[in-house]
Structure 1
Amino acid sequence: MVVTGLGIVSSLGLSRDQVTASLRDSVSGIALLPARKKLGFQSGLSGVINDFVGRNPLDRRYRNRLPEFGWWAWDAIVQALEQAAIDPAELAGDPAAGFLLGNDSSVVTGVEQCEMLKEAGETKAIGSGHIFRLLTSTVTLNLCTKLQLRGASWSISGACASGAMAIGQAADLIARGRQDRMLCGGAQEISWQSMCSFDAIGAFSRREDAPHQASRPFDQERDGLIPSGGAAILFLEAEEVARARGAKIIAEISGYDFSSDGYHLSVPSGEGLLRAMGGALANAGVLPAEIDLVMAHATSTPAGDEKEAQVLSQLFGLEQGERGPMVAATKSLTGHEFWMAGASQLIYALLMSRAGFVAGHPNLSKPAPEAALLRIPTATIAATPHHILCNAAGFGGVNACLVAKVHHAV
């Protein structure tokens, strides 16, 4: 299963080039939003997407049927297909071409339709497009129809592991011969409506005096995550299909595994993530010592970062003096992109590797004791990782891990 196209809309930029530059230059996508403070949020921090203009704008019908993050997803699809040199018309009607997306909410539409009902006093005031914007599967059902795909098409709801699960499942479908070509990835809304409950439980950092320094994965002084979002799409193909058309191969999805902690709704056990990492490596036929780069889930929460650091040390034998791979914590720049995080982090890794660097974690001033053995660069360093392990974890103790083998540009 090879990757031939990447598309990204994130707080770091609206294209592969913009995002690569932000990663290289440690440009943060996090800002303080005063409107959230006025609403009563404890934290007004958020990742932001500015000046978005789609390359191939949706017609009015689909704009009305998709929430804003669906527009971002469409743009990321256009980017990925352009890089893969695929005309969308080539996918239309093909039962071996599909679309899987990680997404676990579409909150704004639900709020809007309730407000419309209260104001009008009857449901007739609610436009017909709301039903197609409300569903968690809004992006796949709308864009699968737009692209006229005939293959696998569904959304995966696995909390913050959703995006990684979508990529892994798409790769599995291709590996089993069920599909030949798959769009896959994740999307996440950036809206105060979707973040009220997270703010209520004190999940967010309150380091509002310095927004760009607020997300501090693995740091002793971390005080919570920063919500963020966007859309991240990969185009996967069976290797023989890609080579037959002369496609330029970016990477291979060589391993995938998943697990559940079966432990707690919001506190990770670590054991489940360790199992998923080991399973992904075994699926890829790769030894821990062959991993050059780990894209840590590392959301900047006290419990989550602690457990991940511990199991990374265990997996790579760091307690026994092994050197271990580099560990990137890109949420220090983006904030936590929730449902799309596993997909966006894989794209960040591929962009960095092919550009010859690994982004630094500029906010790591006091590494937590459990992270002391991890090789986390604080500034951008030159590197060309070959084997990448990407971690994702979420509420309910769900975990998903991907291994990618990078094909470096020549």
Structure 2
Amino acid sequence: MKRVVITGAGTINALGHNVADTLEAMREGRCGIGDLEFRDVDRLTIKIGGQVRGFEAEGHFNRQQMTLYDRFTQFTLVAAKEAIAQAGLIFHGELAARSGVVLGTAGGGVSTWDDNYRSVYEDGKNRVHPFVVPKLMNNAAASHVSMEYNLKGPTFTVSTACASSNHAMSMAFQMIRSGAALSMVTGGSESMLCFGGVKAWEGLRVMSKDACRPFSANRNGMVQGEGAGVFVFEEYEHARKRGAEILCEVVGCAMSSDAADIVMPSKQGAARAMAGALSDAGVPPSEVGYINAHGTGTAANDKTECAAVADVFGPHADKLMISSTKSMHGHLIGGTGAVELLACIMALRDGVIAPTIGYEEPDPECALDVVPNQAREAEVSVALSNAFAFGGLNAVMALRRI
């Protein structure tokens, strides 16, 4: 079994257009959630979100590319460029043949769907652009990354709602660990912040109208976000021999299905995924210092996740730090686990724990150390990243300082 390390990271989200700005915002406990700005927002009940602001696609892509790239693909390519540049890899020959792309997204080209439904049903047009299908398909971002960087190995997209990124990164990890690949570009992206995307989520009645307050007794729902997180996973010896900077090591992962309910979370399913990741990594619960929680800010998720942590970690649960950065950047749905992995890397490399902001009232059903409102300095050797999705699909990753 090969060791797997992370040698590059890139992102664009509501907190920043790159990793450095995002981590600075996390350290400061800055909130990227605000009033939504797009067409017909006045027709929505929910008018807030973690929207990427100040992003001009024209500054990154030419007109021909713009006809092919939905906003979720644009975000992916921006993040991938940063990650691959940091990794310092040039993909040709054997490396190109043994490197691929696995990305997560729940909705794919939602903005493209929305625009073209309007065109046909509202504007009465009988034609759409010939590139609508390749623009909106869920695998568009993965395909464009593979073409842009000559990645000729396994390339595909995972779509498992809010666990999409963690499932994708787990698959990339397993491919390298097994020897099937030397490196993988992996992570996820989402851009559902358009009229149709938000209107669909309104129907679930799980959205907050004012703020995301994970674990706080007065929490009243989740807040959508958008953006991408992309990483270069690489076989350890390959990275070491070329003198690459190693951000951290990926040491384990696990996936489980609740097999119970399409929307209500299960403590048992979440616990199996966390325990499985620890077992896969060969790490005892006592070594874990930080968990980046799924922490959506809904009543059901937060108490269920805390109960699962208590079950898995036992007496050590009281010594754990657990936080939800969704309070700052919103819930990126299929892209959320990728952006949240940055908080785990920051904890391991920099000894800084991102806070759960918006925390106002203790909840006896969430009686863990949720690092309320302010970042904290602490030495952490192992961190977990949780993702628990609608459909009862769970994916947890374990990372170690190196």
Shorter-chain TM band? over 0.9
Is residue 163 from structure 1 mapped to residue 165 from structure 2 by the alignment? yes
1:92 shift after superposition: 9.3
Is residue 349 from structure 1 mapped to residue 344 from structure 2 by the alignment? yes
SS across alignment from 1:28: coil
SS across alignment from 1:262: coil
- What one-letter code is carried by the residue in structure 2 that aligns with 1:152? P
- What one-letter code is carried by the residue in structure 1 that aligns with 2:321? M
Task: Decide which moves more: 396-405 or 51-60.
Answer: 51-60
Match of 2:334 among 339, 355, 358: 339
1:121 shift after superposition: 4.4
Is residue 254 from structure 1 mapped to residue 257 from structure 2 by the alignment? no
Is residue 391 from structure 1 mapped to residue 395 from structure 2 by the alignment? no
Q: Is the 8 A contact 1:46 1:335 kept in 2?
A: yes
1:276 shift after superposition: 0.5
Task: Decide which moves more: 178-187 or 57-66.
Answer: 57-66
- Partner Cα distance (1:104, 1:322) in 2: 31
Task: Decide which moves more: 16-25 or 254-263.
Answer: 16-25
Match of 1:270 among 259, 267, 270: 267
Aligned twin of 2:24 = 21
Residue by residue over 1:352-401, the C-alpha shift from the partner in whole angstroms, topping out at 9 and shown as x without a partner, is 43233112223212121111134534311112321001100111100000
SS across alignment from 1:3: strand
Is residue 235 from structure 1 mapped to residue 232 from structure 2 by the alignment? yes
Match of 1:326 among 321, 325, 330: 321
- What one-letter code is carried by the residue in structure 1 that aligns with 2:21? Q
- Partner Cα distance (2:94, 2:138) in 1: 23
- What one-letter code is carried by the residue in structure 2 that aligns with 1:159? A
Residue by residue over 1:96-130, the C-alpha shift from the partner in whole angstroms, topping out at 9 and shown as x without a partner, is 0100000121222123233334546433xx22221
- What one-letter code is carried by the residue in structure 2 that aligns with 1:16? V
Aligned twin of 1:372 = 367
1:300 shift after superposition: 0.2
Q: Is the 8 A contact 1:203 1:225 kept in 2?
A: yes
Change (3 A) 1:91 1:159: farther
Residue by residue over 1:59-80, the C-alpha shift from the partner in whole angstroms, topping out at 9 and shown as x without a partner, is 4333211111211111111110
Change (3 A) 1:35 1:372: same
Percent identity between matched residues is: 28
Task: Decide which moves more: 277-286 or 358-367.
Answer: 358-367
Is residue 294 from structure 1 mapped to residue 291 from structure 2 by the alignment? yes
Change (3 A) 1:102 1:347: same
Match of 1:183 among 182, 185, 188: 185
Aligned twin of 2:78 = 75
Task: Decide which moves more: 357-366 or 220-229.
Answer: 357-366
> 1:41-56, aligned counterparts within 5 Å?
41-53=44-56
Q: Is the 8 A contact 1:161 1:400 kept in 2?
A: yes
Q: Is the 8 A contact 1:92 1:147 kept in 2?
A: no
Is residue 305 from structure 1 mapped to residue 264 from structure 2 by the alignment? no
Aligned twin of 1:405 = 400
Q: Is the 8 A contact 1:326 1:377 kept in 2?
A: no
Q: Is the 8 A contact 1:35 1:44 kept in 2?
A: no
Change (3 A) 1:116 1:377: closer
SS across alignment from 2:391: helix
Q: Is the 8 A contact 2:41 2:195 kept in 1?
A: no
- What one-letter code is carried by the residue in structure 1 that aligns with 2:136? L
Residue by residue over 1:210-253, the C-alpha shift from the partner in whole angstroms, topping out at 9 and shown as x without a partner, is xxxx1100111000000001000010111111112111111111
Q: Which runs of 5+ in 1 are unaligned?
A: 208-213
- Partner Cα distance (2:114, 2:317) in 1: 52
- Partner Cα distance (1:262, 1:369) in 2: 28
Q: Is the 8 A contact 1:225 1:300 kept in 2?
A: yes
- Partner Cα distance (1:384, 1:330) in 2: 19
Q: State how many pairs are aligned.
A: 396
Change (3 A) 1:242 1:54: farther
Residue by residue over 1:331-352, the C-alpha shift from the partner in whole angstroms, topping out at 9 and shown as x without a partner, is 1111111111111111122134
Q: Is the 8 A contact 2:38 2:194 kept in 1?
A: no
Change (3 A) 1:322 1:227: closer
TM-score normalised according to structure 2 size: 0.93
Is residue 205 from structure 1 mapped to residue 200 from structure 2 by the alignment? no
Change (3 A) 1:34 1:7: closer
Change (3 A) 1:63 1:348: farther
Q: Is the 8 A contact 1:9 1:232 kept in 2?
A: yes
Q: Which runs of 5+ in 2 are unaligned?
A: none
Aligned twin of 1:223 = 220
- Partner Cα distance (1:309, 1:19) in 2: 26
Q: Is the 8 A contact 2:8 2:232 kept in 1?
A: yes
SS across alignment from 2:52: coil
- What one-letter code is carried by the residue in structure 2 that aligns with 1:157? S
Q: Is the 8 A contact 1:24 1:358 kept in 2?
A: yes
Aligned twin of 1:7 = 10
1:206 shift after superposition: 1.8
Is residue 381 from structure 1 mapped to residue 384 from structure 2 by the alignment? no
Residue by residue over 1:257-312, the C-alpha shift from the partner in whole angstroms, topping out at 9 and shown as x without a partner, is 00000010100111111001000000000011100100000000110111001111
SS across alignment from 1:272: helix
Change (3 A) 1:130 1:294: same
- Partner Cα distance (1:16, 1:28) in 2: 16
Aligned twin of 1:210 = none
